[in-house]
Amino acid sequence: METVNIKGKYFEKYITNEEINSIVKSLSQRINEDYFGKEIYFLVILNGAFLFASDLFKQIKGLPRINFIKVSSYSGISSSGKVNELIGLNEDITGKDVIIIEDIVDTGNTMEELLKLLKTKEPSSLEICSLMLKPNSFKKDFNIKYIGKEISDEFIVGYGFDLDGYGRNLKDIYQLKRKADK
């Protein structure tokens, strides 16, 4: 399937499942090297990062721990950039090596707020692993240690990314077609 129609919008295949698997493998190898002999505590941001986190987690050595969190930062269809609520962090992360697993970082507004909140919990270390980064949108002053792939600002669906809840199940990632291409 080279093109998909979701809610009247057309998306074309952008990143194949094979490329995604290669990206995930590369990220897991880096994390395994950096955290050799250490216990890692993963915080997965739902909903979008669940497929990525599952594939990554299966390739991590040792006995890592994982927890799923949700942040509320949306007002309608656009992000307010402010974390209104953090849902699911019910364990103490004090003194732990924490890696936040995110599907995509674009402006970085929500992640910046989340980092401020998590730093108050005093983890030993706090890093970010994002499958995708939109560097043209990202203007913040924090480090994303593990970046799978930098992409353009076009809207994407598939492999956990969605349009109003649709398209997360697609094994490849699709990019919104420009109207002139239609």
Q: How many CB atoms lie within 10 A of CB 62?
A: 11
Q: What is the mean pLDDT of residues 69-73?
A: 77
Q: Please tell me whether the peptide bond between 17 and the residue prior to it is cis, using omega within 30 degrees of 0.
A: no
Does position 53 have pLDDT exceeding 70, yes or no? yes
C-alpha span between 51 and 44 (Å, rounded): 10
Give me the catalytic one of 55, 97, 103, 106. 106
The candidate with the shortest Cα–Cα distance to 49, out of 136, 172, 168, is 168
pLDDT band at 160 (very low <50, low <70, confident <90, very high): very high
pTM assigned to the model = 0.91
Q: H helices within the chain, ranges in order?
A: 17-34, 50-57, 109-119
pLDDT of amino acid 77:
35
Mean pLDDT of 76-105: 81
Check residue 66 and report its DSSP letter: E
State the pLDDT confidence band at 79, using cuts at 50, 70 and 90: low
C-alpha angle with apex 153: 148 to 157, nearest 5 degrees?
70
- CA 6, distance to chain mean position in Å, is 21
Domains, in order of start, for the chain: 3-181 (3.40.50.2020)
Return the pLDDT at 90. 87
107-122: average pLDDT: 92
Cα gap 27→29, rounded to integer Å: 5
Does 181 participate in catalysis according to the annotation?
no
- 152: amino acid identity, one letter: S
- Whether the pLDDT of residue 87 is over 70: the answer is yes
Distance CA 155, CA 162 (A): 9
